[in-house]
């Protein structure tokens, strides 16, 4: 009987270690995703996923410690029941992975000084920057943003966004006019793509897609980004 108890405890210890590594692996993936992309929205599913992960990790750790300490003692039914629950939690997390992509922060703010610097460069250090330029008082901009967001989520893109309305308030009329001219914008919403020129491909350093509310212009922009 004692030998059987030790064998079962050994299995519980092994399963506990496996569960701990599974949860740690998922946690590292989530942390890396957050560091790279941020999290735009938190829904019930994400909260449940995190809560279950924390509960499963603490439970697996507790089981590991308890069974190591009481390795030679008789096994209780509570221990077996707790082990079963932990295993179910762990493998549910592994079998039903969370789709991180839908939580990504696709629009990230970019400061005026950096965008101004980009607009003046001919050959820059930035390899690839995509900026969505809009005005907060523009109805078309606000209506177009969900469509652009959907495209970015589907194709796993993160881009910057820049509000011209705030900049217009801060700059003098002449400065603002020069700034917009350097960006190559005639209408909003627009998408500007900055990429360092390659001596072999001779790609443009700056490519501006103006008024992407138009289907034709939106398609040009999406084709450029995808190819």
* Residue pLDDT, tens place only, 196-206: 665 545 555 67
Least Cα distance to 100 among 20, 160, 32 occurs for 32
Question: pLDDT digits over 76-97, tens only?
Answer: 777 778 778 887 878 777 777 7
* DSSP 8-state symbol, 70: T
- 31-42 in b/e form (b: 16+ CB < 10 A) is eebeeebeeeee
Co-location of 138 and 172 in the same domain: yes
Q: List the structure tokens of 104.
A: 């990504």
Residue 74 has pLDDT above 80, yes or no: no
| Domain count for the chain | 2
pLDDT of 171 above 60: yes
Reduced to 3 states (helix: H, G, I; strand: E, B; else coil), residue 76 is coil
Task: Based on the fold, state whether residues 115 and 176 are members of the same structural domain.
Answer: yes
Q: Is 12 exposed, middle or buried (0-12, 13-18, 19+ CB in 10 A)?
A: buried
Residues 31 and 99 in one domain: yes
Q: Is the pLDDT of residue 163 over 90?
A: yes
Dig out the tokens for 75 from the structure. Answer: 């096994």
- Where does residue 118 rank: exposed (0-12), middle (13-18), buried (19+ CB within 10 A)? buried
- Same domain? For 29 and 97 the reply is yes
Q: Does 148 share its domain with 60?
A: no
Domain match, 94 and 161 both:
no
Closest by Cα among 195, 219, 217, 222 to 207:
195
Based on the fold, state whether residues 86 and 117 are members of the same structural domain.
no
Instruction: Of 194, 224, 174, 175, give the one whose Cα is nearest residue 133.
Output: 194
Which residues form the domain of 24? 2-103
Model confidence at 28: pLDDT above 80: yes
Distance (Å, rounded) from C-alpha 138 to C-alpha 103? 26
Distance CA 48, CA 160 (A): 30
Q: Same domain, yes or no, for 61 and 112? A: no
* Of 59, 126, 45, 129, the residue nearest 89 (C-alpha): 59
Q: Tell me the sheet residues that pair with 131.
A: 160, 192
pLDDT at 90: 80
């Amino acid at each position: 009987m004692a030998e059987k108890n030790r064998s079962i405890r050994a299995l519980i210890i092994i399963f506990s270690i496996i569960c701990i590594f599974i949860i740690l692996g998922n946690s590292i993936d989530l942390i890396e995703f957050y560091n790279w992309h941020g999290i735009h929205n938190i829904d019930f599913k994400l909260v449940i996923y995190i809560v279950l992960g924390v509960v499963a990790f603490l439970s697996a750790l507790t089981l590991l410690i308890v069974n190591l300490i009481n390795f030679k003692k008789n096994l209780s039914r509570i221990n077996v029941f707790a082990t079963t629950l932990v295993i179910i939690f762990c493998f549910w997390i592994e079998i039903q992975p969370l789709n991180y992509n839908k939580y990504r922060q696709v629009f990230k703010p970019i400061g005026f000084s950096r965008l101004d610097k980009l607009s003046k460069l001919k050959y820059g250090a930035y390899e690839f920057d995509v900026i969505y330029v809009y005005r907060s008082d523009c109805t078309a901009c606000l209506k177009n943003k969900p469509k652009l967001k959907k495209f970015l989520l589907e194709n796993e893109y993160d881009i910057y966004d820049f509000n011209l309305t705030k900049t217009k308030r801060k700059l003098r009329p002449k400065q603002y006019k020069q700034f917009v001219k350097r960006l190559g914008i005639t209408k909003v919403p627009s998408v500007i793509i900055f990429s360092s020129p390659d001596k072999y491909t001779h790609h443009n350093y700056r490519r501006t897609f103006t008024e992407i509310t138009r289907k034709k212009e939106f398609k040009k922009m999406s084709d450029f980004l995808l190819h």
